[in-house]
Structure 1
Amino acid sequence: MNYSFDFQSISFAPLWEGLMVTLELTAAANIIGIVGGFLLALLIMSPIAVIRLPAMLFVEFFRCTPAIVQIVWFFYCVPMLFNVFLGSMTMGILALGFNLMAFNAEAYRASIQAVFREQIDAGIALGLNPFQRILYIVLPTAFRASIPVLLTNGIGIFQQSALVAIVAVQDLMYQGKTLATETYRPIETFTVVALIYFAVSFPVTQIVGYLERRRQLLMS
């Protein structure tokens, strides 16, 4: 291969701007996913079918369709069907947030089912109403147990956020594509972009591994 690498021609300013947009997308989507995922898990576990079934359908739809299709659907179909016109950034956040909600809901559901009945009974004995039992007993216990999965799902959304580049959100991937076109240096540009994604993702994966090992030691 007769190719001369030139990483000095890569401008990091637009990539930095794109990374900030990517982190904003990830943070907003994780807020939706963490909060909405718990509420969705409660709906899935409802004994009332008219509440449970739509929630289950929501989860299965977002788990069983590609994220790129969901992003494109939000960007093009929501304005046409509901006459709602939002910015591409907002659409990207909603698509990624709803996707994360579906996966987090399953993590929460497993954790909620693992809450000891004795804890619930103690809450009843203390006179807590159902909402208070959920807020003070179920939520903290389920959240702590779900942290490794929530972090894994969150870093997955960080990586999947690159897909919003196809709807002109100026994230890291979008800026990388633009820079590669302008400099005619796709190898160097996308190598740097990949390294940036890795630099952000790798520490989180190590934290997840540590939490998993610590949890197993506590349970053994």
Structure 2
Amino acid sequence: MNYSFDFQSVTRNLGPLFDGLAVTLQLTVAANAIGLTLGFVLALLLMSPWRLMRLPVTLFVEFFRCTPALVQIIWFFYCVPMLFNVFLGSITMGILALGFNLAAFNAEAYRASIQAVPREQLDAGIALGLNPVQRILYIVLPTAFRASIPVLLTNGIVIFQQSALVAIVAVQDLMYQAKSLATQTYRPIETFSVAALIYFAVSFPVTQLVDYLERRRLAVAG
């Protein structure tokens, strides 16, 4: 391979990449806020005894779990304004698309954890006179959240990585800025290598935390 690497052309222009990283983190944090809260609500609705309540929620969850995230992002950006006459900022649309996608996957994680809540804890809540909402807030939510933390963190880092897809609809995230810089410097190998290292630098500590929490959970369970 007769190629001369020149990483200085990238290191001299790290500002746009870090600006893009700030947008990527904004998308990730906001999407996780939606995914963590909406996901729990969806999990409760999926376990509802009423079929009419379960059916639309099931369709919502399966749609976002069974279609590509790229298709969902494009659909939000182009179809929502046309169908519903709703015009939001590009970052807001990206947050909603990623947040709903994450909520669908978190719903399944929460549901598995909710089903694992010991019946004795619920009986104790009834004995203490807690109403159904209080039992959910004070017994089910804390227990299910702790049990599902490794999966929720994994889903969150996946959304961080999938946020690169919003570059296709011109959201100026890390991937968009890397693509623009590669075009300007004619150094795509160096530019996308640095971008990959930035994604890795953010993702790797979280994956290590997930592994630690999973080992700790197994040790406690053992």
Which category describes the TM-score, using the shorter chain as reference length? over 0.9
* Correspondences of 1:146-157 after superposition (within 5 Å): 146-157=148-159
Q: Shift in Å at residue 49 of structure 1?
A: 0.7
Asked if residue 5 in structure 1 is aligned to residue 5 in structure 2, the reply is yes
Give the match's secondary structure for 1:197: helix
Q: Which residue of 1 aligns with 2:66?
A: 64
Q: Which residue of 2 aligns with 1:21?
A: 23
Q: Shift in Å at residue 173 of structure 1?
A: 0.1
User: How many Å separate the matches in 1 of 2:73 and 2:193?
Assistant: 25
User: How many Å separate the matches in 2 of 1:79 and 1:16?
Assistant: 30
**In the TM superposition, what whole-angstrom CA distance separates every residue of 1:36-71 from its partner, at most 9, and x where no partner exists?**
000000000000011111111111000000000000
User: How many Å separate the matches in 2 of 1:58 and 1:82?
Assistant: 18
What TM-score, normalized by structure 2, do the two folds share? 0.99
Task: Give the gaps of 5 or more residues in structure 2.
Answer: none
What TM-score, normalized by structure 1, do the two folds share? 1.00
Q: Shift in Å at residue 107 of structure 1?
A: 0.2
Q: Shift in Å at residue 7 of structure 1?
A: 0.5
Asked if residue 50 in structure 1 is aligned to residue 41 in structure 2, the reply is no
Aligned partner letter, 1:193: A
Asked if residue 73 in structure 1 is aligned to residue 75 in structure 2, the reply is yes
Q: Which residue of 2 aligns with 1:31?
A: 33
User: How many Å separate the matches in 1 of 2:42 and 2:88?
Assistant: 24
Match of 1:83 among 82, 85, 107: 85
Q: Shift in Å at residue 188 of structure 1?
A: 0.3
Q: Shift in Å at residue 183 of structure 1?
A: 0.4
Give the match's secondary structure for 1:218: helix
* Correspondences of 1:130-145 after superposition (within 5 Å): 130-145=132-147
Asked if residue 118 in structure 1 is aligned to residue 111 in structure 2, the reply is no
**In the TM superposition, what whole-angstrom CA distance separates every residue of 1:1-38 from its partner, at most 9, and x where no partner exists?**
11111101111000000000000000000000000000
Aligned length: 220
Q: Which residue of 1 aligns with 2:182?
A: 180
User: How many Å separate the matches in 2 of 1:8 and 1:33?
Assistant: 39
User: How many Å separate the matches in 2 of 1:167 and 1:91?
Assistant: 10
User: How many Å separate the matches in 2 of 1:81 and 1:38?
Assistant: 28
Q: Shift in Å at residue 140 of structure 1?
A: 0.2
Aligned partner letter, 1:61: F
User: How many Å separate the matches in 1 of 2:109 and 2:20?
Assistant: 30
Aligned partner letter, 1:168: A
CA RMSD of aligned residues (A): 0.4
Q: Which residue of 1 aligns with 2:100?
A: 98
Give the match's secondary structure for 2:67: coil
